[in-house]
């Protein structure tokens, strides 16, 4: 409680300048975000936003702890009530003492994680802890990971889960480890804008997922501020679609993107930043540096396989070790995150921090894809078309487009909706995905196709 005497309080509640000094004594400050001043309350190295009603409650709480004395005609509470309209205004709060909050201390070489008991710094050389008393940084309270951190090299159940979804293949374990490290590292390299895409390895006409993609996104969300958008219920054209995104948002998860979605619709968000607009509020523009990283989960290969798309994608395929009939709880006998004790949480944090260190040392580590190309072909064309071309078309030979189309329709009569124009478009998509050259020739009214190596 502020050490104010009765006459001091009366003076504070009668005058705006003195009231601001009183609020400063209660550790109220302001933080400027996108040109707008936001009242906050400071507690050591941490701040959190505070609303006008909350400020009133804080002041009233301090008054309840104040022991009134006789000898004055008016009480501090009465003075406060009489003048509340001029004291509790946003324009007056603009004069609170300003402080700077480090929205991201991360740089290209290191990453920071505020735990309850200490600040953890991860770099290529190792993982170190810093006492908050020795730290000049100010953090948002919402950023604090609500656990104590203790160095622990023992194996976590989450690391075993990662081995399972990678079929215990070393290259794949390194790849997903680097992807999680990238998502946890707040720094965004302007020369390498990329989205992480998690998809199923298994090829199926009706994929049902449940391979562990959601657990990975939740794992990152245990340590960074993330927002999950159920894609089938998200209208990308709605200007208020991302109204919850702000400078504190580290990660956006587009969950369960459906078949046929064109990846290039996300290009500007990945490479330039994004806009966030709340109803009845001004639009906030988040630069590339300050905008969230992007994680996509899907059961399908996304449309768009050109060089621009490839440069902006880091794709990881999850094995079918887990499914609707075999879930992580069957192996580990407890629900991840919710049912872990403090020791297991701590082992998890140590593993995730090791992923950050691995990423800082090696970057995003790619591996030889299992079924990505085939899934891209199926998504852009059809399973039948892909099989047909593999069986009937040889590189370098000239084929009549009409004859190939007729042969395809005779072999796959069930595919009755495919037209000759659609069939020709599929050839173009096939060539693009397979990185082949497609030459079209028109001779004597007939059209011919030649597929060849670039």
Domain positions in the chain:
6-93, 157-373, 381-453
Reported CATH class of domain 381-453: alpha beta
For helices 76-87 and 52-64, angle between their N-to-C axes, nearest 10 degrees: 170
For residue 48, what pLDDT is reported? 93
Q: Out of 34-43, 269-278, 319-328, give the one with best mean pLDDT.
A: 319-328
Nearest CA to 264 out of 233, 222, 309, 226 is that of 309
Nearest CA to 198 out of 177, 219, 214, 181 is that of 214
Q: In this predicted model, what pLDDT tens digit does every residue of 205-238 receive, in sequence order? A: 666 678 999 999 999 999 999 998 887 777 666 6
379 pLDDT above the threshold of 70: yes
Q: What is the mean pLDDT of the chain?
A: 88
1 pLDDT above the threshold of 50: no
Nearest CA to 364 out of 214, 192, 109, 114 is that of 192
For residue 205, what pLDDT is reported? 60
CATH 1.10.10 fits 157-373, yes or no: no
Give the 3-state secondary structure of residue 1: coil
CB contact at 8 A, 380 and 433: yes
CA distance 327 to 344: 19
Residue 433 has a CB neighbour count (10 Å cut-off) of: 21
387 pLDDT above the threshold of 90: no
For residue 417, what pLDDT is reported? 74
Q: In this predicted model, what pLDDT tens digit does every residue of 61-119 receive, in sequence order? A: 887 766 555 555 567 788 888 888 999 999 999 999 999 887 668 999 999 999 999 99
For residue 279, what pLDDT is reported? 67
Q: Please state the rounded mean pLDDT for residues 271-299.
A: 82
Q: In this predicted model, what pLDDT tens digit does every residue of 293-318 receive, in sequence order? A: 999 998 887 776 567 778 899 999 99
Cα atoms in the Cβ-side hemisphere of radius 13 Å centred on 59: 26
6 pLDDT above the threshold of 90: no
In the chain, the percentage of residues whose pLDDT exceeds 70 is 90
């Amino acid at each position: 409680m502020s050490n104010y005497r009765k006459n001091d309080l009366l003076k504070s509640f009668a005058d705006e300048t003195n009231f601001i000094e009183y609020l400063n004594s209660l550790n109220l400050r302001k933080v400027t975000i996108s040109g707008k001043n936001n009242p906050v309350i400071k507690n050591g190295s941490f701040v959190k936003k505070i609303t006008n009603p909350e400020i009133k409650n804080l002041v009233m709480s301090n008054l309840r702890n104040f022991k009134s004395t006789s000898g004055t005609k008016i009480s501090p509470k009465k003075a406060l009530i009489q003048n509340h309209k001029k004291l509790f205004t946003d324009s007056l709060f603009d004069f609170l003492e300003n402080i700077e909050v480090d929205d991201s201390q991360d740089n290209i070489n290191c990453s920071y994680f505020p735990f309850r008991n200490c600040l953890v710094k991860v770099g290529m050389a190792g993982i170190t802890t810093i006492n908050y008393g020795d730290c000049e940084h100010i953090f948002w309270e919402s950023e604090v990971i609500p656990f104590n951190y203790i160095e622990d090299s023992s194996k976590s159940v989450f690391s075993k889960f990662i081995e399972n979804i990678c079929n215990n293949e070393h290259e794949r374990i390194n790849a997903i480890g680097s992807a999680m490290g990238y998502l946890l590292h707040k720094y965004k390299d302007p020369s390498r804008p990329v989205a992480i895409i998690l998809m199923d390895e298994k090829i199926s006409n009706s994929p049902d997922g449940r391979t562990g993609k959601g657990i990975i996104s939740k794992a990152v969300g245990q340590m960074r501020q993330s927002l999950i958008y159920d894609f089938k219920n998200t209208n990308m054209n709605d200007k208020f679609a991302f109204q919850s995104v702000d400078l504190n948002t580290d990660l956006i998860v587009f969950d369960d993107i459906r078949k046929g979605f064109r990846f290039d619709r996300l290009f500007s968000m990945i490479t330039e930043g994004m806009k966030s607009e709340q109803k009845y509020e001004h639009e906030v523009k988040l630069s590339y540096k300050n905008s969230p990283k992007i994680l996509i989960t899907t059961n399908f290969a996304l449309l768009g396989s050109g060089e621009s798309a490839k440069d902006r994608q880091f794709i990881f395929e999850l094995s079918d070790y887990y499914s609707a009939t075999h879930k992580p709880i069957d192996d580990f006998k407890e629900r991840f995150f919710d049912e872990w004790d403090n020791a297991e949480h701590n082992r998890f944090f140590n593993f995730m921090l090791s992923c950050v260190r691995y990423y800082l040392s090696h970057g995003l580590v790619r591996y030889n894809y299992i079924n990505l190309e085939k899934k891209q072909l199926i998504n852009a064309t059809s399973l039948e078309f892909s099989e047909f071309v593999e069986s009937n078309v040889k590189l370098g030979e000239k084929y009549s487009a009409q004859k190939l189309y007729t042969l395809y329709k005779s072999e796959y009569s069930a595919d009755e909706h495919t037209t000759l124009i659609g069939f020709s478009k599929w050839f173009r998509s096939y060539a693009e995905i397979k990185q082949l050259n497609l030459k079209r020739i028109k001779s004597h009214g007939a059209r011919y196709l030649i597929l060849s190596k670039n």
